[in-house]
């Protein structure tokens, strides 16, 4: 095999209570990518459509993630005698809050790993894809790249050492994600955060993280909903997102289990039980932005159990 075509899924990071540690994988929103093994050594980004992104390997998140992986491969296994070309077909907008850079980073390392005969596990690949996130936002968080690679829900239990736990999603869980068409850079959305939290807020937050994980394992939809609360980040970031309070309130009034900022925003997500409710929430959210005369994109998706996949 010398060429591989991939679906690189969008993801929702944080999930309200789990800043930088929780994420889930979407099923019907994502990019495509072609990765090709060539005789000329090195990594080259040969084509990008759908976004104005740099082709230079060291300035492109897929390039940086791929280089990190090849360097590790040479340390772990043997010298590399081939090179790789990457074509990226972007559908996820940069700065949308649904893991645009993560999709590209995850796709590149997954594709190269397949063409090398799968020397690394999907979990191993997370550490390389994180280098793309570092380039994109200044911080090597894993809460988008982990679900993009592993599918389902993921928890980063620890960054050092990296310890990632994949959690199955209850069958009937659906996500609705609305993207008001403004760009919010993750680095800007991180700059509004405080570096310390009160013990009172921390107690509420880790109670909810535990609750959300327990709810996923026991398929307790009400517990999942009760746990989708963010005491720390949402109050500081929501002011950057037009109509946030009204969209969230509308989602809850239309049956959402919970709603919050998707990743670093400006997208807003809601989780619900069943596609019918997820569609109803999408319609109601759309009406809010239509009344505000604000262009938007909306996705209704089941949780993608697989992560990046070969097309």
Which residues have a catalytic role annotated?
133, 186
> Residue written as tokens 């968080």?
141
- Largest Cα–Cα separation, the chain: 59
Residues 98-137 that bind ligand HSE (CB under 6 A): none
Contact status: 93 vs ligand HSE (CB under 6 A): no
Contact status: 186 vs ligand HSE (CB under 6 A): yes
Element (H, E) at 269: strand 268-273
User: Do the Cβ atoms of 138 and 187 come closer than 8 Å?
Assistant: yes
Looking at the Cβ atoms of 19 and 73, the one nearer to ligand HSE is 19
- Alpha helices, DSSP H, located in the chain: 61-76, 100-115, 122-137, 145-150, 186-191, 199-218, 221-227, 234-237, 244-253, 275-291
Site string for ligand HSE, 256-285 (x = CB under 6 A): -------xx---------------------
Task: Give the contacts of 58 (CB within 8 A, at least 6 positions apart).
Answer: 64, 67
Looking at the Cβ atoms of 40 and 160, the one nearer to ligand HSE is 160
Q: Which stretch binds ligand HSE (CB under 6 A): 13-21, 34-42, 156-164, 213-221?
A: 13-21
- Three-class DSSP category at 238: helix
Q: Which stretch binds ligand HSE (CB under 6 A): 52-60, 141-149, 194-202, 299-307?
A: 141-149
Looking at the Cβ atoms of 81 and 195, the one nearer to ligand HSE is 195
Q: Which stretch binds ligand HSE (CB under 6 A): 53-61, 85-93, 145-153, 186-194?
A: 186-194
Q: Which stretch binds ligand HSE (CB under 6 A): 35-43, 74-82, 139-147, 243-251?
A: 139-147
Q: How far apart are CB 189 and ligand HSE at their closest, in Å?
A: 6
Contact status: 169 vs ligand HSE (CB under 6 A): no
Binding-site size for ligand HSE (CB under 6 A) equals: 12
Q: How many CA atoms are closer than 13 Å to the CA of 154, on its beta-carbon side?
A: 32
Q: CB nearest ligand HSE: which residue?
A: 263
Q: Is the peptide bond before 83 cis (omega within 30 degrees of 0)?
A: no
- Alpha helices, DSSP H, located in 89-220: 100-115, 122-137, 145-150, 186-191, 199-218
**Closest among 244, 228, 259 to 22, alpha carbons compared:** 228
Looking at the Cβ atoms of 105 and 254, the one nearer to ligand HSE is 105
Choosing from 4, 6, 8, 13, the residue that interacts with ligand HSE (CB under 6 A) is 13
**Closest among 197, 225, 199 to 211, alpha carbons compared:** 225
Looking at the Cβ atoms of 66 and 184, the one nearer to ligand HSE is 184
Whole-angstrom Cα distance, residue 131 to residue 185?
17
Q: How many CA atoms are closer than 13 Å to the CA of 294, on its beta-carbon side?
A: 21
Choosing from 105, 113, 144, 205, the residue that interacts with ligand HSE (CB under 6 A) is 144
Choosing from 4, 7, 10, 14, the residue that interacts with ligand HSE (CB under 6 A) is 14
Q: How far apart are CB 197 and ligand HSE at their closest, in Å?
A: 15
Q: Is the peptide bond before 305 cis (omega within 30 degrees of 0)?
A: no
Interface residues toward ligand HSE, by CB under 6 A: 13-14, 19-20, 141, 143-144, 186, 189-190, 263-264
């Amino acid at each position: 095999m010398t060429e591989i075509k991939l679906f690189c899924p969008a993801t929702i990071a944080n999930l309200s209570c789990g800043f930088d540690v929780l994420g889930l994988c979407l099923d019907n929103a994502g990019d495509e990518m072609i990765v090709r093994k060539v005789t000329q050594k090195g990594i080259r980004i040969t084509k990008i459509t759908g976004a104005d992104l740099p082709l230079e390997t060291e300035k492109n998140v897929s390039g940086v993630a791929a280089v990190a992986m090849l360097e590790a491969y040479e340390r772990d296994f043997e010298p590399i005698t081939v090179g790789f070309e990457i074509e990226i077909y972007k559908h996820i907008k940069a700065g949308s809050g649904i893991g645009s850079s993560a999709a590209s980073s995850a796709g590149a390392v997954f594709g190269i790993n397949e063409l090398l005969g799968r020397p690394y596990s999907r979990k191993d690949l997370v550490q390389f894809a994180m280098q793309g996130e570092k380039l994109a936002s200044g911080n090597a968080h894993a809460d988008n790249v982990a679900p993009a690679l592993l599918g389902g829900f993921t928890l980063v239990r620890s960054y050092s050492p990296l310890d990632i736990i994949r959690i199955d999603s209850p069958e009937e869980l659906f996500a609705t994600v609305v993207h008001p068409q403004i760009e919010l850079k993750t680095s800007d959305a991180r700059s509004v955060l405080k570096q310390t939290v009160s013990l009172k807020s921390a107690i509420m937050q880790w109670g909810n993280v535990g609750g959300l994980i327990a709810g996923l394992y026991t398929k307790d939809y009400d517990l999942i909903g009760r746990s989708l609360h963010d005491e720390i980040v949402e109050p500081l970031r929501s002011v950057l997102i037009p109509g946030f309070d009204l969209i969230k309130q509308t989602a809850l009034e239309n049956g959402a289990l919970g709603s919050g900022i998707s990743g670093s925003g400006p997208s807003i997500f809601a989780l619900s039980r069943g596609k019918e409710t997820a569609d109803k929430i999408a319609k109601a959210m759309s009406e809010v932005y239509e009344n505000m005369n604000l262009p938007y994109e909306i996705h209704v998706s089941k949780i993608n159990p697989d992560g990046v996949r070969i097309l």
